[in-house]
Amino acid sequence: MNPDTTKVWNEAGARANAAAQTARRRVTIDPITRLEGHGKIDIFLDDAGDVERAYLQIPELRGFEVFSLGRPAEEMPQITSRICGVCPTAHHMAATKALDDLYQVEPPPAARKIRELVYNTFVMEDHALHVYILGGPDFIVGPQAPPEQRNVVGVIQKVGIEVGKKVISMRRRLRELIAYFGGKVIHPVLGLPGGVSKGLKPEDLPPFQALAKDTLDFALFTLQVFKDIVLKNPDYVKLITSDAYTHRTYYMGLVDAQNRVNFYDGLVRVVDASGKEYAKFPARQYRDFVAEHVEPWSYVKFCFLKPLGWHGFEEGPQSSVYAVAPLARLNVADGMATPQAQKACEEFFNTLGGKPVHHTLANHWARVVEMIYAAERIVELLNDPEITSTDLRVIPSAKPSVGVGVVEAPRGTLYHHFETDGQGLITKANLIVATQNNAARIAMSVEKAAKGLIKKGNVSEGLLNMVEMAFRAYDPCFGCATHSLPGHLPLCVSIYDPRRNLLRQLVQPASLKLG
Amino acid sequence: MEASSPHVLPGKAPPRTKPVLVLGLGNDILSDDAVGLNVAREIRRHLSDSDGIEVQETSEMGLALLDHIVGFADLILVDAVQTRQAPPGFLHEFDGGQLKILSIVSPHFLGVGEIVALGRQLGLPVPGRVKIFAIEVKDPFTVGDSMTPALRRVLRPIALRVLAAARQLHGNRRVSRGG
């Protein structure tokens, strides 16, 4: 960015911050540069210069329900998958399952398996992206590494170019599988009420079986990378288990009939901070258990456990806050449904002191465990004789009324809820996305990190990284806000004095030139 | 319609027949967020085969962009931006040579700087020159399939401006090759 543009950019941010300020001093971390007042972390200091509260704000998506009203319900898997460029397959699948429920139709076994195959492939690809590229700077490069190395280039330097190529190649091949069934990764067209639109031809099976094997090798290789780089480093383990990144809350996630992790289907299980089952319910009952709390300072509706009531951003016995995402899924389950993932899961809990694990940063490790499960499940499904069946759909005949679908998006539980008239035209549409389920705990994590770093008005240079790490572990999705320009995302901390004057600005350093 | 993702093997150049890529980014059901896609579509109406310019549009982001840009000599990105320091429809221009690689701060975001640097490090033939056109938008957050009037009005002039820049890149390339 040229100096003039940078100046305009910073002045715009400063003005927006000043306009919104209270009389308190405020530090702003704004990870989404094209927006003002959205997607920021606001940190308020008290008179002593210590952190009073820290707030995470996520962009508000407006008009979804209005846009949906009157449209045929069958369009929802396409519409919802287009809203978010990050998790289109998760939305597509949750909406498809909501249509099954709406029309009270059960897909044939082959259709269900194809959906599950595509879904696990998506989770695998998304998790790999996070482990290597997005979360990589925190653990593969390391939280204490010089800022100029804490980027994707630093990750590749650490793991080696060959591994970098492997990651890119693996991801591309996984996306080809999704595209085989869905046409396009970004806007898949696969799910129909009662089935899927495309099957798997027997002659196309062998290359996908080869891909499945490579995928499992890659997942196991990733676990080894994680062990070598992270777990063999006592400092990293100390950081993962440190109090600054620990919260005792409830956890939520889908489980199968044997209470094992399942991304595609099952019952929603909730456990308390001691690991004891608090609730287990089908998607249709989500409104009995999930409620939303509104704060005046945020667009985000903070989910909490409805029967317990809202008790604030609290942890421990009085909390009604719950978390979703990989760590939560492992915490709510009795185990993994595949052997190598089960082994990795046992090692995870044995190392971290037993179930449940409350360390937010353990999400990175849990994500690797889930990669192994996804890969093993892909192998199973592609070696299932039924996967090439042509019995792909049950035509719905019931009169539609209400449909609720749930899946585990890579970043946590995702609910789709549609209501229609007798013709199947939408009269109500509601989504509860993973980041919303996690919002309260993310806010708590950001605040805890901020409180640990800012003392008596002294803002540590490490603040940016440590606060980033607090929310990045959850893999939150800012969905619609990620097309930021000019092609990169400077992170900015603005520090104001009590008279709202900008004292200084910390901007994540720019180190390497592109040209 | 969106162009399909041109998958390429790492380390292998895809069969690109044209040296310059104009890539429109955005989401066509998020109101003004679609402007990059619409500019790409408008450019296509004014394009001839002899221009040596490929026009694509995509709703993908981050690492997925790598598949689109590998193999092209030059890249022009067109996307929406909201600085609120310029009227809707204002065209910001950025020279890719000024792009920096930053630590990743958004959980699902890789900037074009990171993408190009990553591709280069992996030995992929990523574009040597990158130019970005960012169009100031009014509303990129309301779900809807039409842009606000201010954006609709400037679509054609912006498309022509971007096309001129693409032709210039292509022309420079021919000149620099002694053509």
The pLDDT of residue A325 is above 50? yes
Please, is A461 exposed, middle or buried when counting C-beta atoms within 10 Å of its C-beta (0-12, 13-18, 19+)? Answer: exposed
pLDDT reported for residue A376: 98
Instruction: Report the alpha-carbon distance of residue A107 to residue A97 in Å, rounded.
Output: 10
Same domain, A44 and A169: no
Phi, psi for residue A225 in degrees, rounded to 5? -60, -45
Q: What is the DSSP letter of A140?
A: I
**Is A84 among the domain residues?**
no
Instruction: Report the alpha-carbon distance of residue A275 to residue A252 in Å, rounded.
Output: 11
Count of CB atoms within 10 A of residue A46's CB? Answer: 12
pLDDT reported for residue A478: 55
C-alpha distances in Å from residue A74, one per residue of A91, A164, A512, B167 = 13, 40, 47, 43
> In this complex, do B144 and A67 lie within 8 Å of one another by their Cβ atoms?
yes
Q: Which residues, other chains included, contact A485 with Cβ-Cβ below 8 Å and sequence gap of 6+?
A: A34, B79, B80, B81, B92, B94, B132, B134
> In this complex, do A510 and B100 lie within 8 Å of one another by their Cβ atoms?
yes
**Is B10 among the domain residues?**
no
Type of residue found at A241:
T
Instruction: Report the alpha-carbon distance of residue B106 to residue A267 in Å, rounded.
Output: 31
Same domain, A370 and A463: no
The pLDDT of residue A39 is above 70? no
pLDDT tens digits along B48-101:
887 899 999 988 777 778 888 999 999 998 988 776 778 999 998 877 665 554
**Average pLDDT in the A305-330 region?**
96
pLDDT reported for residue A135: 77
Domain that holds residue B63: 20-176
Give me A268's structure tokens.
């929603």
**Is A418 among the domain residues?**
no
pLDDT reported for residue A402: 98
pLDDT tens digits along A453-487:
778 877 765 666 777 788 778 877 654 333 333 33
ipTM for the complex shown: 0.78
- Which of B143, B145, B148 has the highest number of chain A CBs within 10 A, making it the mutation to test binding with A? B143
Name the range with the highest mean pLDDT among A27-41, A51-65, A473-487: A51-65
Count of CB atoms within 10 A of residue A501's CB? Answer: 11
Shortest Cα distance, chain B CAs vs residue A62, angstroms: 4
**Is A88 among the domain residues?**
no
Instruction: Report the alpha-carbon distance of residue A168 to residue A172 in Å, rounded.
Output: 6
C-alpha distances in Å from residue A16, one per residue of A19, A86, B85 = 5, 27, 11
Q: Give the CATH number for residue B122.
A: 3.40.50.1450
Last residue of a domain, one of A395, A423, A456: A395
Place of tokens 């609730």: A279
Phi, psi for residue A318 in degrees, rounded to 5? -85, -5
C-alpha distances in Å from residue A170, one per residue of A32, A124, A219, A454 = 29, 10, 10, 41
Shortest Cα distance, chain B CAs vs residue A188, angstroms: 12
Same domain, A38 and A113: no
> In this complex, do B102 and A1 lie within 8 Å of one another by their Cβ atoms?
no
> In this complex, do B99 and A165 lie within 8 Å of one another by their Cβ atoms?
no
Does the pTM surpass 0.90? The reply is no
CB B132 within 8 A of CB A507: no
pLDDT reported for residue A198: 95
If you average pLDDT over every residue of chain A, what do you get? Answer: 83
Domain that holds residue A374: 106-245+359-395
Rg, Å, chain B Cα set: 16
**Is A31 among the domain residues?**
yes
Same domain, A129 and A232: yes
Query: Alpha helix (H) ranges present in A59-160?
Result: 64-68, 76-83, 88-102, 109-129, 136, 152-159
> In this complex, do B97 and A480 lie within 8 Å of one another by their Cβ atoms?
no
Instruction: Report the alpha-carbon distance of residue A47 to residue A24 in Å, rounded.
Output: 8
b/e map of A1-19 (b: 16 or more CB within 10 Å)? beeebeebbbebbbebbee
Same domain, A47 and A130: no
Q: Between residues A443 and A418, which one has the greater pLDDT? A: A418
Q: Give the CATH number for residue A376.
A: 1.10.645.10
Same domain, A161 and A238: yes
Place of tokens 């089952």: A277
Give me A189's structure tokens.
């067209």
Same domain, A382 and A481: no
Same domain, A146 and A201: yes
**Is A238 among the domain residues?**
yes
pLDDT tens digits along B2-60:
333 444 333 344 578 889 999 998 888 888 889 999 999 999 999 988 789 999 998 87
Same domain, A239 and A113: yes
Phi, psi for residue B153 in degrees, rounded to 5? -65, -35
pLDDT tens digits along A90-129:
999 999 999 999 999 999 999 999 999 999 999 999 999 8
The tally of domains found in chain B comes to 1
**Is A424 among the domain residues?**
no
Instruction: Report the alpha-carbon distance of residue A301 to residue A428 in Å, rounded.
Output: 18
**Is B4 among the domain residues?**
no
Instruction: Report the alpha-carbon distance of residue A271 to residue A291 in Å, rounded.
Output: 17
pLDDT reported for residue B148: 95
Q: Between residues A38 and A349, which one has the greater pLDDT? A: A349
**Is A433 among the domain residues?**
no
Q: What is the DSSP letter of A361?
A: G
pLDDT reported for residue A508: 42
Type of residue found at A407:
V
Same domain, A228 and A141: yes
Same domain, A391 and A456: no
- Which of A152, A161, A162 has the highest number of chain B CBs within 10 A, making it the mutation to test binding with B? A152
Q: Which of A258, A96, A68 is nearest to A188 (CA)?
A: A96
The pLDDT of residue A371 is above 80? yes
Q: Between residues B1 and A12, which one has the greater pLDDT? A: A12
> In this complex, do B7 and A36 lie within 8 Å of one another by their Cβ atoms?
no
Q: How confident is the model at residue A429 (pLDDT cuts 50, 70, 90)?
A: very high
| Neighboring chain B residues of A490 at a CB cutoff of 8 Å | 102, 105
| Neighboring chain A residues of B36 at a CB cutoff of 8 Å | 483
Same domain, A55 and A114: no
The tally of domains found in chain A comes to 2
Place of tokens 């020279």: B95
**Is B89 among the domain residues?**
yes
**Is A349 among the domain residues?**
no
